[in-house]
Amino acid sequence: MTDDMDALVAAAAEASKNSYSPYSGFKVGAAALTESGDVYTGTNIENASYGATMCAERVAIFKAASDGMRRIVALAVYGGGADYAYPCGMCLQVLSEFAGDISVYVAGKAGVKRYALSELLPHPFDKSKL
Ligand code: THU
């Protein structure tokens, strides 16, 4: 376990405290490290129209992209209620747009596990398929 991983997981855990999740009660935080060394965090934001809910990972990724960042080099996800908080398929797809085969740290009350993005999303849809 590297310091970077610990710092990224800590940032994700901190972000989960801002979770707006009155419907599921499932508080998620994410932290994306960009190639410039910046850390962008996000939390899940739910809505009374459930389908309008946004996941923590995409909030973090979109914050980074909106600031002009185009390369994410590591991502951590923390879910307080889960043993390990795994990114959903849509978040993995969005992450793959801005990342190579990076480390994805999934964290929760059971600790932290590292995966390569290619393990979680072996066949991303990318521009080569368009
Ligand atoms: N959620 C995330 O924030 N990230 C994921 O990858 C999976 C699910 C959120 C969405 C919703 O607010 C709650 O967890 C339950 O699905």
pTM of the entire structure?
Answer: 0.96
Tokens of 84: 């390990």
Pocket of ligand 1, candidates 21, 28, 49: which has the most ligand atoms within 8 Å of its Cβ, to mutate? Answer: 28
Antiparallel, parallel or unpaired: β 72-79 and 103-108 = parallel
77 C-alpha vs ligand 1 centroid, how far in Å?
Answer: 10
Residues 95 and 57: beta-carbon distance below 8 Å: yes
Q: The tokens of 115 are what?
A: 């995966």
Residue 1 has pLDDT above 70, yes or no: no
Quote the tokens at residue 119.
Answer: 């393990």
**Tokens 């390569």 appear where?**
116
Q: How confident is the model at residue 80 (pLDDT cuts 50, 70, 90)?
A: confident
How would residue 82 be classed by pLDDT, with cut points 50, 70 and 90?
confident
Rounded Cα distance between 41 and 91, Å, is: 14
Topology of the domain comprising 3-129: Cytidine Deaminase; domain 2 (3.40.140)
Is 43 a pocket residue for ligand 1 (Cβ < 6 Å)?
Answer: no
36 lines ligand 1 (CB under 6 A): no
| Residue closest by Cα to atom 6 of ligand 1 | 87
> What is the tens place of the pLDDT at every residue in 33-63?
999 999 999 999 999 999 999 999 999 999 9
**pLDDT for position 15:** 98
Nearest of 108, 127, 126 to residue 117 by alpha carbon: 126
Q: What is the pLDDT of residue 83?
A: 95
The arithmetic mean of pLDDT across residues 63-75, rounded, is 98
